[in-house]
Protein backbone atom coordinates (compact mmCIF):
# COMPACT_ATOMS: atom_id res chain seq x y z
CA UNK A 1 0.00 0.00 0.00
CA UNK A 2 1.42 3.36 -0.98
CA UNK A 3 1.65 5.84 1.88
CA UNK A 4 1.36 9.55 0.96
CA UNK A 5 4.75 11.17 1.53
CA UNK A 6 3.10 13.96 3.52
CA UNK A 7 1.61 11.41 5.92
CA UNK A 8 3.02 11.25 9.44
CA UNK A 9 3.52 7.48 9.27
CA UNK A 10 5.83 7.84 6.28
CA UNK A 11 7.89 10.65 7.79
CA UNK A 12 8.22 8.84 11.13
CA UNK A 13 9.49 5.66 9.47
CA UNK A 14 11.90 7.76 7.38
CA UNK A 15 13.22 9.53 10.50
CA UNK A 16 13.84 6.18 12.17
CA UNK A 17 15.60 4.76 9.10
CA UNK A 18 17.78 7.89 8.89
CA UNK A 19 18.74 7.63 12.56
CA UNK A 20 19.68 3.98 12.14
CA UNK A 21 21.71 4.70 9.01
CA UNK A 22 23.53 7.53 10.71
CA UNK A 23 24.39 5.24 13.62
CA UNK A 24 25.73 2.57 11.26
CA UNK A 25 27.64 4.84 8.88
CA UNK A 26 28.33 8.07 10.75
CA UNK A 27 31.42 9.29 12.62
CA UNK A 28 32.75 12.51 14.16
CA UNK A 29 33.51 13.48 10.55
CA UNK A 30 30.13 12.58 9.08
CA UNK A 31 26.52 12.91 10.15
CA UNK A 32 23.64 11.98 7.87
CA UNK A 33 20.30 13.75 7.68
CA UNK A 34 17.19 13.15 5.61
CA UNK A 35 17.00 15.45 2.62
CA UNK A 36 13.91 13.99 1.00
CA UNK A 37 11.57 11.01 1.14
CA UNK A 38 10.93 9.82 -2.42
CA UNK A 39 8.53 6.94 -1.86
CA UNK A 40 6.87 5.01 0.96
CA UNK A 41 4.88 1.78 0.93
CA UNK A 42 3.41 -0.05 3.91
CA UNK A 43 2.67 -3.72 4.29
CA UNK A 44 0.66 -5.13 7.20
CA UNK A 45 2.08 -8.54 8.11
CA UNK A 46 -0.38 -10.60 10.16
CA UNK A 47 0.73 -11.25 13.74
CA UNK A 48 4.13 -9.66 13.06
CA UNK A 49 3.77 -5.93 12.48
CA UNK A 50 3.83 -3.12 9.95
CA UNK A 51 6.61 -3.01 7.39
CA UNK A 52 7.59 0.14 5.50
CA UNK A 53 9.52 0.21 2.23
CA UNK A 54 11.20 3.58 1.79
CA UNK A 55 13.20 5.40 -0.85
CA UNK A 56 15.27 8.18 0.71
CA UNK A 57 17.78 10.83 -0.19
CA UNK A 58 20.28 11.57 2.57
CA UNK A 59 22.67 14.47 2.90
CA UNK A 60 25.90 14.98 4.80
CA UNK A 61 25.23 17.31 7.76
CA UNK A 62 28.49 19.19 7.12
CA UNK A 63 28.35 19.14 3.33
CA UNK A 64 24.79 19.62 2.10
CA UNK A 65 25.90 19.07 -1.51
CA UNK A 66 27.05 15.56 -0.67
CA UNK A 67 23.99 13.33 -1.03
CA UNK A 68 23.35 9.62 -1.37
CA UNK A 69 20.22 7.67 -2.29
CA UNK A 70 19.08 4.84 -0.11
CA UNK A 71 16.36 2.20 0.08
CA UNK A 72 15.29 1.04 3.52
CA UNK A 73 12.87 -1.39 5.10
CA UNK A 74 11.49 -0.72 8.57
CA UNK A 75 9.49 -3.31 10.48
CA UNK A 76 7.63 -2.20 13.59
CA UNK A 77 6.75 -5.22 15.72
CA UNK A 78 3.16 -5.53 16.87
CA UNK A 79 2.41 -5.02 20.52
CA UNK A 80 5.84 -5.63 22.01
CA UNK A 81 7.28 -2.26 23.01
CA UNK A 82 10.58 -3.81 24.11
CA UNK A 83 11.75 -4.90 20.67
CA UNK A 84 13.47 -2.29 18.54
CA UNK A 85 12.15 -2.04 14.98
CA UNK A 86 14.05 -4.06 12.38
CA UNK A 87 15.83 -1.82 9.88
CA UNK A 88 17.65 -2.85 6.72
CA UNK A 89 19.12 -0.49 4.17
CA UNK A 90 21.00 -0.36 0.91
CA UNK A 91 23.02 2.68 -0.11
CA UNK A 92 23.35 3.57 -3.78
CA UNK A 93 26.73 5.14 -4.36
CA UNK A 94 29.55 5.96 -1.98
CA UNK A 95 29.68 8.14 1.09
CA UNK A 96 32.50 10.63 1.30
CA UNK A 97 35.64 9.30 2.99
CA UNK A 98 36.11 10.83 6.46
CA UNK A 99 39.27 9.02 7.57
CA UNK A 100 41.36 12.16 7.67
CA UNK A 101 38.85 14.24 9.65
CA UNK A 102 38.22 11.33 12.03
CA UNK A 103 41.91 10.79 12.68
CA UNK A 104 42.57 14.49 13.26
CA UNK A 105 39.80 14.57 15.86
CA UNK A 106 40.96 11.32 17.47
CA UNK A 107 44.54 12.52 17.82
CA UNK A 108 43.45 15.94 19.08
CA UNK A 109 41.36 14.43 21.88
CA UNK A 110 44.00 11.83 22.70
CA UNK A 111 46.59 14.59 23.15
CA UNK A 112 44.48 16.70 25.54
CA UNK A 113 46.00 17.10 28.97
CA UNK A 114 42.61 17.32 30.66
CA UNK A 115 39.42 15.48 29.72
CA UNK A 116 37.19 17.38 27.37
CA UNK A 117 34.05 18.93 28.90
CA UNK A 118 31.43 21.03 27.11
CA UNK A 119 27.78 22.00 27.34
CA UNK A 120 24.90 23.48 25.37
CA UNK A 121 25.83 22.42 21.83
CA UNK A 122 24.40 24.01 19.76
CA UNK A 123 23.91 27.17 21.83
CA UNK A 124 20.61 29.03 22.07
CA UNK A 125 21.31 30.69 18.70
CA UNK A 126 21.90 27.34 16.99
CA UNK A 127 25.66 27.82 16.72
CA UNK A 128 28.19 25.00 17.08
CA UNK A 129 31.82 26.13 17.62
CA UNK A 130 33.97 24.58 14.85
CA UNK A 131 36.16 22.71 17.34
CA UNK A 132 33.00 21.14 18.83
CA UNK A 133 31.56 19.99 15.51
CA UNK A 134 33.03 16.44 15.81
CA UNK A 135 31.63 16.16 19.37
CA UNK A 136 28.25 17.28 18.02
CA UNK A 137 28.39 14.83 15.13
CA UNK A 138 29.39 12.00 17.45
CA UNK A 139 26.26 12.75 19.51
CA UNK A 140 24.21 12.92 16.29
CA UNK A 141 25.48 9.46 15.30
CA UNK A 142 25.08 7.92 18.76
CA UNK A 143 21.59 9.38 19.16
CA UNK A 144 20.71 7.41 16.02
CA UNK A 145 21.12 4.28 18.14
CA UNK A 146 18.84 5.65 20.87
CA UNK A 147 16.28 6.70 18.24
CA UNK A 148 16.36 3.25 16.65
CA UNK A 149 15.99 1.42 19.96
CA UNK A 150 13.13 3.57 21.23
CA UNK A 151 11.06 4.45 18.17
CA UNK A 152 7.51 3.29 17.53
CA UNK A 153 5.07 4.18 14.77
CA UNK A 154 3.92 7.02 17.01
CA UNK A 155 7.27 8.73 17.60
CA UNK A 156 9.62 10.86 15.55
CA UNK A 157 12.80 11.63 17.47
CA UNK A 158 15.56 14.03 16.60
CA UNK A 159 18.59 15.24 18.54
CA UNK A 160 17.84 18.78 19.75
CA UNK A 161 20.90 19.61 21.85
CA UNK A 162 23.82 18.31 23.84
CA UNK A 163 23.20 19.62 27.35
CA UNK A 164 26.47 18.30 28.69
CA UNK A 165 29.33 16.09 27.54
CA UNK A 166 32.33 14.86 29.50
CA UNK A 167 35.18 12.72 28.29
CA UNK A 168 35.86 9.65 30.43
CA UNK A 169 39.49 8.65 30.92
CA UNK A 170 40.36 5.20 29.56
CA UNK A 171 43.50 3.08 29.53
CA UNK A 172 42.83 1.54 26.10
CA UNK A 173 42.74 3.14 22.64
CA UNK A 174 39.04 4.02 22.66
CA UNK A 175 37.61 7.46 23.31
CA UNK A 176 34.68 7.48 25.76
CA UNK A 177 32.19 10.29 26.30
CA UNK A 178 29.32 10.63 28.74
CA UNK A 179 26.55 12.65 27.12
CA UNK A 180 23.36 14.20 28.42
CA UNK A 181 21.32 15.02 25.33
CA UNK A 182 17.86 16.40 24.65
CA UNK A 183 15.75 14.43 22.19
CA UNK A 184 12.82 16.17 20.54
CA UNK A 185 9.78 14.02 19.74
CA UNK A 186 8.22 15.88 16.81
CA UNK A 187 4.91 14.06 17.34
CA UNK A 188 4.24 14.89 20.99
CA UNK A 189 6.53 17.98 20.97
CA UNK A 190 8.10 16.51 24.09
CA UNK A 191 11.74 17.31 24.91
CA UNK A 192 13.29 14.28 26.60
CA UNK A 193 16.61 14.29 28.49
CA UNK A 194 18.63 11.18 27.70
CA UNK A 195 21.93 9.98 29.07
CA UNK A 196 24.23 7.95 26.82
CA UNK A 197 27.74 6.59 27.17
CA UNK A 198 29.53 6.51 23.82
CA UNK A 199 32.70 4.68 22.78
CA UNK A 200 34.46 5.55 19.56
CA UNK A 201 37.57 4.54 17.68
CA UNK A 202 38.36 5.45 14.05
CA UNK A 203 38.78 1.79 13.08
CA UNK A 204 35.87 0.37 15.06
CA UNK A 205 33.13 2.96 14.78
CA UNK A 206 30.61 4.16 17.34
CA UNK A 207 29.19 2.08 20.18
CA UNK A 208 26.57 3.19 22.68
CA UNK A 209 27.41 1.12 25.77
CA UNK A 210 24.59 2.44 27.89
CA UNK A 211 21.68 4.83 27.56
CA UNK A 212 18.73 5.77 29.71
CA UNK A 213 15.82 8.15 29.55
CA UNK A 214 16.10 10.71 32.32
CA UNK A 215 13.40 12.48 34.34
CA UNK A 216 12.35 15.85 32.94
CA UNK A 217 14.10 17.92 35.61
CA UNK A 218 17.44 16.34 34.66
CA UNK A 219 17.78 18.78 31.78
CA UNK A 220 17.82 21.82 34.04
Instruction: Quote the pLDDT of residue 51.
Output: 97
- In this structure, what are the phi and psi dihedrals at residue 180, rounded to the nearest 5 degrees? -115, 115
> For residue 6, what pLDDT band results from cuts at 50, 70 and 90?
confident
Question: Mind listing the pLDDT tens digit for each residue in 184-193?
Answer: 999 999 999 9
Instruction: Quote the pLDDT of residue 179.
Output: 98
Q: What percent of the chain has pLDDT over 70?
A: 98
Instruction: Quote the pLDDT of residue 7.
Output: 87
> For residue 35, what pLDDT band results from cuts at 50, 70 and 90?
very high
> For residue 63, what pLDDT band results from cuts at 50, 70 and 90?
confident
Look up the pTM and report it.
0.95
Instruction: Quote the pLDDT of residue 219.
Output: 52
> For residue 218, what pLDDT band results from cuts at 50, 70 and 90?
low
Domain map (residue ranges) of the chain: 8-219
What's the mean pLDDT in 88-98? Answer: 92
Q: At residue 160, does pLDDT exceed 70?
A: yes
Instruction: Quote the pLDDT of residue 79.
Output: 81
- Among the CATH numbers 3.10.450.10, 3.40.50.450, 2.40.50.100, 3.40.50.2300, which is that of 8-219? 3.10.450.10
Q: At residue 220, does pLDDT exceed 70?
A: no
Amino acid sequence: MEVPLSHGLASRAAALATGYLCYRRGSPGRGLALRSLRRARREDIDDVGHKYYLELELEDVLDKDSTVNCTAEVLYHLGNKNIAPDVQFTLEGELKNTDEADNIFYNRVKSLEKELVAENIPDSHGNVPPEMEPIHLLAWVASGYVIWQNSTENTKFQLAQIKHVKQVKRSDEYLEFDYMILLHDMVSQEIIPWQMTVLWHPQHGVQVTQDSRQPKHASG
